[in-house]
Amino acid sequence: MDGAAYLLAVNLLVALSFSAVFVVVAQRSQSRSSALWIAAGFGVASLSAVCELLVAYSPTPKPWALGAFAAVLCGMVMLAIGIAKLYGRSIARPIVVAFISVSLVVAYLIYDLPRGTWVHAFLYQSPFALVVLTSAGIVLFNRGRSGIDGFLGALLLVTGLHFFAKAGLAVLVGSGSTAADYIHTGYALISQSSTAVLMVAVGLTLLATLILDIMVAQRTESELDILSGLANRRGFDRRVHAFFAQTRPVPHAFILCDLDHFKQINDTYGHQLGDLVIQTVGERIRTSVPHGAIAGRLGGEEFAIFLPNTKVDAAVQFAQKLRSEVMSLPGLPHSLTVTASFGVASLTSKSELTEAYRRADQALYNAKDGGRNRVKIASNG
């Protein structure tokens, strides 16, 4: 078996393996549609290896040569659609259909042109390059780009440009006098190996991107209190600590909120209504906190709010406003009025977090002891 034929067989297995893996990843990914498009892209592109082998050993190579071109092009377009969906973009269907149709017509028209010419080589490779470069642009111009996104974009850029390099190489070293000769040339060996390496790198990077998204989603779910819609204690603590990892010492505020007589609400109206109270209070907190604030349910009927870059007086005003809003929660029986007590403490650095929590808790206790339904400021001692 020629080296190029061996590489075609390897590429077939690699592409099918990627396709299967992306189908599996799609079952857990929030970007399920994107993963399935990418899986389809690798699956369809794998058919080109079968077509290339049939070009070399079939008495009628032209249909298989066009089939190989179509499989690679359609597979890459599917990859581009998947990448666009992954980054919240879309590619218009009419543009996709028109591009594929024109490219197939051009491939058909240039089939009988002399191989190894600039015209033939660049007209053949340009559609592949344009699709991959479009994918690179989608990734590189994404506003929320992270490190792995930048790497993926650069990798796609190199992959797209390498198709133009392959066109030049085909002219310089020759790609066979006919399509059937291609598989026996040194150019085929270089072409198949370079494309395989780059596409494997792209596939692995896309896989890593999707798996990282799954990990982030799972961590978010593990840090979310389902009933209130706020962060749970673990999530609240992690987000507050993460905030202090990238800020300088300035005044911040820490608020503890505890619903008054909550056990009595459960005993009188039942746990279902008690859950509704927690859910409604959580929604009110979520919609009331300013941008950048961190809110969480620490457990039971206790909530916490971290207000960055906020002086204690402004935090007290916010707590008073929230206290009033809790008293007029919608969807509750007219005979039920929910109230809450608040403790407010100030801090400037991460090292003061534990002490700020203790002082806010003491202030909350003072609010309870002083008659409930009120806001108390923590002492500095």
Q: Which of the residues are catalytic?
A: 301
* Closest alpha carbon to 330 in 374, 284, 370, 297: 284
The CA–CA distances, whole Å, from 355 to 43, 313, 314, 348, 349 equal: 58, 19, 20, 11, 11
Task: Identify the residue whose tokens are 């008293």.
Answer: 327
Structure tokens at 327: 């008293």
Within 10 A of 68 (CB to CB), how many other CB atoms are there? 24
* Closest alpha carbon to 299 in 270, 278, 268: 278
Strands, E, within 26-97: which ranges? none
* Closest alpha carbon to 269 in 209, 334, 339, 204: 334
Cβ contacts of 344 within 8 Å, gap of 6 or more: 253, 254, 255, 312, 315, 316, 319, 360, 363, 375, 376, 377, 378
* Closest alpha carbon to 130 in 167, 152, 81, 163: 163
Per DSSP, what are the bridge partners of residue 231?
224, 296
HEC states along 44-62?
A: HHHHHHHHHHHHHHCCCHH
